[in-house]
């Protein structure tokens, strides 16, 4: 079971899912056909390149290479989360710090309790799952926060005019945004 490989049949089934998404997008006039095709092409290239890199890292079983790959995953997740928070000052570093902290805490607990070993086969996929889930939560939080600040700008300005500090004036929006970001994790 150590040598799992994708067969032509599984690749064909995956492509059928892409075709279904394209058909739905076309039928419903969603305007996402081009985005889907570009995403699939990008995914194929990325998976091909990442596959060779991961194969090398896993075979070498090197502590520093594993840490380097974890940093790449964290950087990539923060970079993608940054897109959802465009316009917020220092958003990349805020995202990177949040994703790194949550991932390090979770991985630390898993390693210290011996639930996982610090080997590439375990650390890289688990890091990807944790960082990916955190990235989605942060992206939802940013999107909700930006929309709420836009929609409730007048209320925030009124609170500020009445003497509230920035934190107090925006606390309801921040709480609501955090709840929105945490919803998928709570639901799952």
Tell me the per-residue pLDDT of 136-150, one tens digit each, with 9 for 90 and over: 999 898 888 888 888
pLDDT at 188: 75
C-alpha dihedral, 183 to 177 to 32 to 125, nearest 10°: -50
Give me 133's structure tokens: 């889930």
pLDDT at 4: 61
Which whole-number Å values give the CA distances from 25 to 13, 16, 21, 22, 126, in the listed order? 19, 14, 6, 5, 32
| Sign (positive or negative) of CA dihedral 122, 118, 78, 100 | positive
Q: What are phi and psi of 5, to 5 degrees?
A: -135, 150
> What pLDDT, in 10s, does the model give residues 18-47?
889 889 988 888 888 888 889 888 888 888
Kindly give the parts of the chain with pLDDT less than 70: 1-6
CA distance 22 to 64: 41
CA distance 121 to 79: 24
């Amino acid at each position: 079971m150590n040598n799992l490989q994708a067969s032509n049949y599984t690749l064909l089934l995956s492509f059928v899912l892409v075709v279904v998404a394209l058909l739905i997008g076309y039928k419903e006039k969603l305007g996402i056909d081009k985005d889907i095709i570009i995403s699939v092409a990008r995914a194929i290239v990325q998976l091909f390149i990442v596959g060779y890199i991961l194969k090398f890292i896993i075979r070498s079983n090197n502590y520093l290479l594993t840490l380097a790959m974890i940093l790449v995953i964290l950087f990539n997740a923060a970079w993608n989360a940054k897109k959802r928070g465009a316009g917020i000052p220092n958003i990349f570093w805020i995202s990177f710090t949040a994703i790194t902290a949550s991932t390090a805490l979770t991985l630390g607990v898993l390693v210290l309790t011996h639930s996982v070993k610090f080997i590439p086969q375990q650390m890289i996929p688990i890091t990807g799952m944790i960082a990916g889930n955190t990235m989605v939560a942060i992206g939802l939080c940013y999107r909700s926060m930006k929309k709420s600040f836009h929609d409730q700008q007048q209320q925030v300005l009124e609170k500020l005019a009445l003497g509230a500090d920035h934190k107090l004036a925006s606390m309801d929006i921040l709480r609501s945004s955090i709840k929105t970001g945490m919803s998928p994790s709570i639901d799952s």
